[in-house]
Amino acid sequence: MRAAWAKAGSKSIAIVLALLFTALLLLASGASPIESFRLIWQGSVGDGAKLADTLMAWVPLVLAASGLVVTFAAGLWNIGVEGQVVMGAIAAAFVAREFHAAPALIITVALAAGVIGGLLWGLLAGMLRVFGKVNEIFGGLGLDFVATGMVVYLVIGPWKRAGIASTSGTDPFPREAWLPTIGDKLSPIAVILAVLAVVGVYFLMRGTFFGLRLKAVGANAASAHIIGLSTRRYLLTAMAIGGGLAGLGGAVQAIGFQHKLVPAISGGYGFLGILVVLLAGYRAALIAPIAFFFMMISVGSTQLSLRLGLNSSLGGVVQGTLVLLTVLVGGWQAQRARRREPTEVES
Amino acid sequence: MSLELSDIHKHFGRIRANDGVTLRVGAGELHGLLGENGAGKSTLMKVLSGFFEPNSGEMTLDGATLSLRSPRDAIAAGIGMLHQDPLVFLPFSVLDNFLLGSPPIDRTAARTELADLARRFGFSFDPDAPTRTLTVGERQQLEIVRLLWLGAKVLILDEPTTGISASQQALLFDTLRTLAGQGMIVIFVSHKLEEIEALCDRVTVMRRGQTVGEVTLPVPIDRLVEMMFGQAVPVVGRVPGVRGEVALDLEGVSVDDRLTSVVDLTLQVRAGEVIGLAGLEGSGQRTLLRTCAGLLRTSAGSIGVAGSDVTTRGYHERIATGVHYLPAGRLEEGLIRGLSITEHFQLAHGSKGFVVPWADARRDANALISRHSIKGTPDTLAEELSGGNQQRLLLAMVPENVRVLLMEHPTRGLDIASADWVWGQLMHRVERGTSVVFASADLDELLRYSDRIVVFFGGRVLKVLDTSEADTDRLGHLIGGRDVA
Amino acid sequence: MDSTLATIVAAAAPLIYATMGETIAEKAGVINLSLDGSIMLSAMAGFSITYVTGSVIVGFLAATAVSAIIAALIAFASIELKLNQIAVGFVLTLLAAKLSSFLGTAYVGVKGTHVPHLAIPLLEDIPFFGTVLFDHNLSVYGSFVVLIGVYLFLYRTRRGLELQGIGERPEAAFARGIPVNKLRYLYTVIGGALVGLAGAAYSLDVKFGWRENLTLNFGWIALAIVIFGGWHPMRVAFGCYLFGALQVVALKLQPVEALQGVSQILPIMPFVLMIFTLLIVYLDWFKRFGDRHPAWRGLLTSDPPAGIGKVFERE
């Protein structure tokens, strides 16, 4: 109970500090903080179109972050998530470009391909770690860039726009492969998938034997082995699930938002997802609201550049500051707790 | 020159590793520090070498108070420690290891110094070889030479004979005698009786963080055994229960595990039988338990469980045949920090199902908690339990119908009530046909509960004897490597 | 040929600064994962401060200070708060990159001062080497100095040996009276300062100016090269020049229609090489080969500092 209060306390201290820091930055840039915050609010949820923008950005972020909850539970730092998003997008793009059938079928197959693309890429990082002892952080980082290289290659090489090769992207996919929308942008399928993913991961981690065993392997692999769990299998499964969800995010990004393949197809949602999960304290329940808050900031920040001439990266600054301060304040409180009652160390 | 440590206290959280220890050593003395693993010897020596700051107590060298805030102070005061695993840097060259942390000196000069010192003690090093190519014995020699070069007047050696060859040990002992002969203080930390006996002039015995006493050698070995393990209580062997079929069958089993090995061991454990594994820590008991569990591979022989051959089956497959293993490290190789009692039960008892029925799980956990009288609630985390309750939880996690239970130090660190309770539980299972094979450093426990005792010495099985032919005295001698019967 | 090699040497200069800084920090046991953001923010700071003050030197100092502060934050979080170095470094890399975009808006596309070109008299006249090595500007010469300096410091001085000791086996270094955590602070911050130089070298020399995401991914590449180079300054430097060469080749291939794909693949090579290096380090076959042929061991592979990323606590 006390721990819960301490956690809530550290979050609020961090939020206050992050708001102060942002306000100072805004004042230093000659903008009114109150006006800026109002613009961010209006720019993200002020009307239906804005809300649709925010939700469509929220979807891939939630998908990537849900997958990361699973990999973090297994004790893995899946920095390869960015590449998994990209591979999902590439796989979906392949289906969208090459496959001709009824829209419902193409879309289903494209989304499934996205899951498989991300899953395989995640599994590759997992296998490098489990069988080759390549740390998942550096292995994943490497695979991120390999995936990015691949997408750039496709965009200016085999899949280049008719006539000119340019890094601005491929030709748009055929209309049948686009996710159907309500209004201009909002795709209910995408939103439903994100909700299903986050609810599914929450249930997986809280309600199933798989989630429980995964937590055990992540917290103490030696004990988990003695208890009778195959640690390898759980690590690989976690990477597959994490990669699959990230890949689905990439697929949605490709056929639901960009409608073509562009070099920056990942949208940075993988790395941003890591920030979301760090801020959520690795708990699935908090992913959806935090991701929504993040995307309000991101989407709303574009208003700052339109109206106040500020750089829209302010959104990223706020997000980063918030996570950094939360992590630091949390560490500081844990440190004070350790000082109060020293942990047992046997020598 | 004289060294005196009085009333040293060093606590780690709730654990009192040193609880009022006193040690006196005079110049030119080869002083042994004897005690079982966990008696607090290493902690005391780390306090003396500045690695740990004591909570309280006083240390004086030649009457002057020592205030050691870090190893740097200890080195300056002339105190050098050779750690059990020599603290050398494996990828660096021998010369670099010699130089790291030394006062400024020209490399060529250092090279000469190293060669001179090595020659004086009959050691030989290639100064440019990577240290990882040296044997453990050579790494020790390098550390000794380095500490002497830094001006050590007090030399501490923590379990230095672990992992070195017989000839290296002889050379080491000669060196230590020479050094003591020159007036140095040498403190030799060991849990091996025969080494202390062979080398030291005087010995201080520690038990459970306290000094038991100090004696001048030679002294009858059973006196030392008694000091180490406590007053020998006459014990009555367990009344043998009804023996069933052979549950665990070892046929000519050989295993190699780096420092210890089991060679050609044949042993049949019947259902309802209790086998104690005796010996000094690291003599091969753990190797045997891990082999039976399937965590180590045999190099020869076969292992059978209840009539079927399991030699080639791994650990997880053997669990399915009813073999369970409980290692000594309760929070390292057994329980999981951050998970609750309920979650532990669900992990252990498993289910082919997909969804955890949490309501039922909590009810089951409550039932198991009261049946095994664990002090905790279904939501208590593993690390919040006391040692005794962790052991109860571990036992409760083992299924009722288990065939063979392999345990390391079932009652280490437990209070008497918990220890009795653990054995009550074990005996309850034994009566219903479970076989128990356990390693212990507690002679009393071994004699009280075992039907037969396997004694290990120096990484080998020395003897298998019936508890009826054993008493504390004989067992103490056997553990020390001598059979007097 | 001469001028191509000279271009490679110049292109690799900032990477030399960054990788040497990271090598020092990692050899001391601290992973500074913030490189990609640190370099970017330093590049922005270096350029803007130079623009405001008109002094390249002040710009370089500012760039150095920015990355040194970020590095100090990582050291503090790891040593005092026992936080995961990866987590803190990762957050900082994203935050610093965004900060550079936000704070640097006013300086995008502005023409500013840059590091003066300075051919070294006499030396520049040496055939071949003169063009390749001695016809550059100060920041390139600085990279030579840093490379040789780091190499000599690590392998020829007592302090360098200590540095390796605290990263390899901190408890052994502590037992020898070396103040492990104090030195980890020191070397992490010095390493960060060098990373800052890399940023300034990009904005004030290689790229002549500031725009958003100017140095995108160079920090990640530097991290990969440090691993590829097995934490040895000379092999790391080889990795930097190899990457510089790949960049130049990619640039030359770009106009060739048929090879456009290839030119896009080359920049990801450091990461592929990094993965292979990591794989090789742990392959049993390779370990046995290294044991049998110690002479080859150092050339082909090296183990990471054993204490890397681990917090040192005395009890």
- Which neighbouring-strand residues pair with B295? none
CA distance B315 to chain A (A): 8
Is pLDDT above 50 for C46? Answer: yes
What is the share, in percent, of chain C residues with pLDDT greater than 90?
59
Is pLDDT above 90 for A245? Answer: yes
Please give the Cα distance from B477 to A170 (Å, whole number). 83
Contacts of C209 (CB under 8 A, 6+ apart): C47, C109, C110, C111, C112, C203
Asked if B444 and B420 touch (Cβ cutoff 8 Å), the reply is no
What is the share, in percent, of chain B residues with pLDDT greater than 90?
56
User: Which of A106-115, B254-263, C52-61 has the weakest average pLDDT?
Assistant: B254-263
Is pLDDT above 60 for B235? Answer: no
User: Which of B113-127, B146-160, B410-424, C74-88 has the weakest average pLDDT?
Assistant: B410-424
Nearest to C264 among A128, A133, A149 (CB): A149
Chains that touch A (3 or more CB pairs under 8 A): B, C
CA distance B334 to chain A (A): 5
* CB < 8 Å to A234, chain B: none
Nearest to B71 among C164, C174, C315 (CB): C174
- Which residue in C286, C277, C219, C204 sits closest to C40, CA to CA? C219
At B53, is the pLDDT very low, low, confident or very high (cuts 50, 70, 90)?
very high
Span B287-313, pLDDT tens digits: 999 999 999 999 999 999 988 899 999
Please give the Cα distance from A180 to C87 (Å, whole number). 38
Section C106-118 average pLDDT: 84
Section A98-107 average pLDDT: 92
Is pLDDT above 50 for A333? Answer: yes
SS3 A86: helix
* CB < 8 Å to C83, chain A: 327-328, 331
- Which residue in B479, B481, B431, B428 sits closest to B453, CA to CA? B479
User: Which of B79-83, B384-388, B425-429, C18-22 has the weakest average pLDDT?
Assistant: B384-388
Is pLDDT above 50 for A345? Answer: no
- Which residue in A208, A81, A57 sits closest to A143, CA to CA? A81
C274 touches chain A (CB under 8 A): yes
C309 touches chain A (CB under 8 A): no
Is pLDDT above 90 for B454? Answer: yes
Residue C165 and residue B101: Cβ atoms within 8 Å?
Answer: yes
Residue C314 and residue B75: Cβ atoms within 8 Å?
Answer: no
Query: Complex ipTM above 0.90?
Result: yes
* CB < 8 Å to B13, chain A: 341-345
Is pLDDT above 60 for B485? Answer: no
Span A153-175, pLDDT tens digits: 898 888 988 777 677 889 999 99
What sign results for the dihedral spanned by CA atoms C9, C15, C18, C20? negative
Neighbouring CB atoms inside 10 A of A309's CB total 11
- Which residue in A190, A188, A202, A289 sits closest to A249, CA to CA? A190
Section B267-272 average pLDDT: 91
Nearest to C98 among A141, A158, A316 (CB): A316
Please give the Cα distance from B202 to B196 (Å, whole number). 9
Higher pLDDT, B155 or C244: B155
At B469, is the pLDDT very low, low, confident or very high (cuts 50, 70, 90)?
confident
* pLDDT score recorded for residue A344: 40
* pLDDT score recorded for residue B166: 80
Higher pLDDT, C308 or B485: C308
* pLDDT score recorded for residue C255: 72
Asked if B465 and B452 touch (Cβ cutoff 8 Å), the reply is yes
Higher pLDDT, B159 or A243: A243
Span A278-311, pLDDT tens digits: 999 999 999 999 999 999 999 999 888 888 888 8
Span A220-236, pLDDT tens digits: 999 999 999 999 999 99
A98 touches chain B (CB under 8 A): no
- The single residue listed with the structure tokens 């470094």 is C89
Section B164-168 average pLDDT: 81
Q: Which chain C residues touch B if contact means CB-CB below 8 Å?
A: 158, 161-162, 164-165, 168-169, 171-179, 294, 302-303, 306, 314-315
Helices A48-73 and A287-303 cross at an angle (nearest 10°) of 140
Which residues between 60 and 89 in chain C have a beta carbon less than 8 angstroms from any beta carbon of chain A? 77, 80-83, 86-88
At C116, is the pLDDT very low, low, confident or very high (cuts 50, 70, 90)?
confident
What is the share, in percent, of chain B residues with pLDDT greater than 70?
96
Is pLDDT above 80 for A341? Answer: no
* pLDDT score recorded for residue A3: 61
Please give the Cα distance from C184 to C188 (Å, whole number). 6
Residue B87 and residue C175: Cβ atoms within 8 Å?
Answer: yes
- Which secondary structure element, helix H or strand E, spans residue B23, and what is its range? strand B15-26
Residue B335 and residue A347: Cβ atoms within 8 Å?
Answer: no
* pLDDT score recorded for residue A343: 45
Span B9-24, pLDDT tens digits: 998 877 788 999 999 9
Neighbouring CB atoms inside 10 A of B399's CB total 12
* pLDDT score recorded for residue B419: 85
At A11, is the pLDDT very low, low, confident or very high (cuts 50, 70, 90)?
confident
- Which neighbouring-strand residues pair with C210? C108
Alpha carbon distances (Å) from B399 to A333, B319, B428: 40, 10, 13
- The single residue listed with the structure tokens 């198991």 is B368
* pLDDT score recorded for residue A346: 34
- Which residue in B238, B261, B300, B259 sits closest to B159, CA to CA? B259
Alpha carbon distances (Å) from A319 to A15, A138, B396: 10, 24, 47
Contacts of A45 (CB under 8 A, 6+ apart): A51, A54, A296
Span A47-90, pLDDT tens digits: 999 999 999 999 999 999 999 999 999 999 999 999 999 999 99
Instruction: Provide the residue range defining the domain that includes C31.
Output: 2-216
Is pLDDT above 50 for B442? Answer: yes
C105 touches chain A (CB under 8 A): yes
Q: For chain C, give the longest Cα–Cα distance.
A: 63
CA distance B316 to chain A (A): 6
At A120, is the pLDDT very low, low, confident or very high (cuts 50, 70, 90)?
very high
* pLDDT score recorded for residue A157: 81
Considering chain C, what is the average pLDDT of its residues? Answer: 88
Is pLDDT above 50 for C214? Answer: yes
Is pLDDT above 70 for C209? Answer: yes
Residue A209 and residue B358: Cβ atoms within 8 Å?
Answer: no
Residue C86 and residue A77: Cβ atoms within 8 Å?
Answer: yes
- Report yes or no on C285 lying in a domain: no
Pick from B100, B126, B133 the residue to mutate for testing the C interface (most C CBs within 10 Å): B100
Q: Which chain B residues touch C if contact means CB-CB below 8 Å?
A: 12, 49, 51-52, 70-72, 75, 81, 83, 87-92, 96, 99-101, 104, 130, 133
Please give the Cα distance from B455 to B437 (Å, whole number). 13
What burial letters (b/e) apply to A54-80, b meaning 16+ CB within 10 Å? bbbbbbbbbbbbbbbbbbbbbbbbbbb
- Report yes or no on C10 lying in a domain: yes
Chains that touch C (3 or more CB pairs under 8 A): A, B
Please give the Cα distance from B195 to B192 (Å, whole number). 6
| HEC per residue, chain C | CHHHHHHHHHHHHHHHHHHHHHHHHHHCCCCCCCHHHHHHHHHHHHHHHHHHHCCHHHHHHHHHHHHHHHHHHHHHHHHCCCCCHHHHHHHHHHHHHHHHHHHCHHHECCCCCCCCEEECCCHHHCCCHHHHHHEEEHHHHHHHHHHHHHHHHHHHCHHHHHHHHHHHCHHHHHHCCCCHHHHHHHHHHHHHHHHHHHHHHHHHHHCCCECCCCCCCHHHHHHHHHHHCCCCHHHHHHHHHHHHHHHHHHHHHCCCHHHHHHHHHHHHHHHHHHHHHHHHHHCHHHHHHHHHCHHHHHHHCCCCCCCCCCCCCCC
- The single residue listed with the structure tokens 């990582």 is C74
Q: How many domains does chain C have?
A: 1
* CB < 8 Å to B339, chain A: 212, 215-216, 219
User: Which chain C residue's Cα is nearest to A321?
Assistant: C95
B346 touches chain A (CB under 8 A): yes
What burial letters (b/e) apply to B3-39, b meaning 16+ CB within 10 Å? bbbeebbbbbeebbbbbebebebeeebbbbbbbbebb
* CB < 8 Å to C224, chain A: 138, 141-142
Nearest to C278 among A138, A152, A153 (CB): A138
Q: pTM of this prediction?
A: 0.90
Sheet holding B452-457, edge to edge: B323-326, B404-408, B435-439, B274-278, B452-457, B460-466
At B262, is the pLDDT very low, low, confident or very high (cuts 50, 70, 90)?
confident
Asked if A274 and A182 touch (Cβ cutoff 8 Å), the reply is no
Is pLDDT above 50 for B464? Answer: yes
CA atoms within 13 A on the CB side of B18: 27
For chain A, give the number of residues.
347
The number of C-beta contacts closer than 8 angstroms across A and C is: 134
Nearest to B89 among C158, C168, C315 (CB): C168
What burial letters (b/e) apply to C109-138, b meaning 16+ CB within 10 Å? eeebebbeeeeeeeeeeeeeebbbbbbbbb
Any idea of the CA torsion for C175, C176, C180, C186, to the nearest 10 degrees? 180
Give, in degrees to the nearest 5, the angle at Cα C270 between C267 and C276: 140
Residue A344 and residue B15: Cβ atoms within 8 Å?
Answer: yes
The token pair at B315 is: 């650990």
B345 touches chain A (CB under 8 A): no
Residue B91 and residue C173: Cβ atoms within 8 Å?
Answer: no
Pick from C22, C81, C247 the residue to mutate for testing the A interface (most A CBs within 10 Å): C81
Asked if C32 and C194 touch (Cβ cutoff 8 Å), the reply is no
CATH topology of domain A34-325: ABC transporter involved in vitamin B12 uptake, BtuC (1.10.3470)
* pLDDT score recorded for residue C298: 58
- Report yes or no on C233 lying in a domain: no
First to last CA, chain A: 31
* pLDDT score recorded for residue B38: 74
Alpha carbon distances (Å) from C299 to A265, B266, C15, C28, C59: 39, 49, 22, 22, 38
Residue A215 and residue B15: Cβ atoms within 8 Å?
Answer: no
* CB < 8 Å to B332, chain A: 220, 222-223
* pLDDT score recorded for residue B443: 81
Span C154-206, pLDDT tens digits: 999 999 999 999 999 999 999 999 999 999 999 999 999 999 999 999 999 88
- Which neighbouring-strand residues pair with B4? B24, B60
Pick from A277, A298, A328 the residue to mutate for testing the C interface (most C CBs within 10 Å): A328
Pick from A327, A338, A344 the residue to mutate for testing the C interface (most C CBs within 10 Å): A327
Residue B75 and residue C178: Cβ atoms within 8 Å?
Answer: no
Nearest to A345 among B12, B316, B338 (CB): B12
Asked if C115 and C138 touch (Cβ cutoff 8 Å), the reply is yes
User: Which chain A residue's Cα is nearest to B330?
Assistant: A223
Domain ranges of chain A: 34-325
* CB < 8 Å to C91, chain A: 275, 278, 320, 323-324, 327
Nearest to C81 among A144, A316, A335 (CB): A335
- Report yes or no on C9 lying in a domain: yes
- Report yes or no on C135 lying in a domain: yes
Is pLDDT above 90 for C123? Answer: no
Span C265-310, pLDDT tens digits: 777 777 888 787 777 766 666 666 666 666 665 555 567 888 888 8
- The single residue listed with the structure tokens 């939360």 is A326
- Report yes or no on C307 lying in a domain: no
Section C101-128 average pLDDT: 84
- Which secondary structure element, helix H or strand E, spans residue B447, and what is its range? helix B443-449
Which residues between 180 and 239 in chain A have a beta carbon less than 8 angstroms from any beta carbon of chain C? none
User: Which of A324-333, B236-245, C230-239 has the weakest average pLDDT?
Assistant: B236-245
The token pair at B194 is: 């025969």
CA distance A204 to chain B (A): 8
Please give the Cα distance from A107 to A104 (Å, whole number). 5
- Which residue in C37, C55, C35 sits closest to C46, CA to CA? C55
At B231, is the pLDDT very low, low, confident or very high (cuts 50, 70, 90)?
low
Rounded to 5 degrees, φ, ψ at C62 are -60, -45
- Report yes or no on C113 lying in a domain: yes
* CB < 8 Å to C102, chain A: 25, 29, 310-311, 313-314, 316-317
Nearest to B12 among A209, A222, A344 (CB): A344
Is pLDDT above 70 for B432? Answer: yes
* pLDDT score recorded for residue A5: 65
